[in-house]
Chain A
């Protein structure tokens, strides 16, 4: 079984640019999560999909962050416009069970905004 695949591994953007991060969950998994990871805040939930329906859009991140699940095997996270404070690692995770007792994470995308 392939794990969660995230692309690109690294992204460098200028302030104000639009960037799109991609995620392919584990095949057959129904739940998909986007997290932002920083040393200060740890793992913060950005979006949560269940069977392609948006269950949570991360409150404070609604403004410039938009996650979409185009089909059950592909999701994108768009940040528009980017700001330097968005520099972080963005992690995608998927889960096969409704209890979400085990999340499978991708390697993440390291975003640097100059």
Chain B
């Protein structure tokens, strides 16, 4: 049973559009939700994260929207660039214990 689910395996957007990547989770005890970005041939790297006490976290062109009641969150990438083409992993943890990752969404930004 996947505790963290990413609804799309892949997503394609045009350059300049807003890409929206969705994630949902099962465990109500999860309180920390990072997104990791992975380029081919590299390991994932932390992109942005949110805690369950917040409903929004913004960092430049990247924004997380979080809905605790619905147990879902989304990553919005504003003004998408070809360099944003990568795989994005949603993850969750409870009180700092190990992260549980989703299966990833492969984003392609067409120029």
Which chain A residues have a beta carbon within 8 Å of chain B's beta carbons? 4, 33, 35, 39-43, 45, 48, 55-56, 91, 93, 98-108
Provide 30 A-B residue pairs closer than 8 Å at the C-beta atoms, listed in order of the A residue: A4-B43, A39-B103, A42-B89, A42-B101, A42-B103, A43-B44, A43-B89, A43-B101, A45-B100, A48-B98, A55-B98, A56-B98, A91-B44, A99-B32, A99-B96, A100-B93, A100-B97, A100-B99, A101-B34, A101-B96, A102-B34, A103-B36, A103-B46, A103-B99, A104-B45, A105-B42, A106-B43, A107-B42, A108-B42, A108-B43
The answer to whether B43 and A33 touch across the interface, beta carbons within 8 angstroms, is no
The residues of B that contact A56 with a CB separation of less than 8 Å are 98
Q: Is B49 an interface residue (CB 8 A)?
A: yes
| Bound complex: CA A35 to CA B34 (Å) | 17
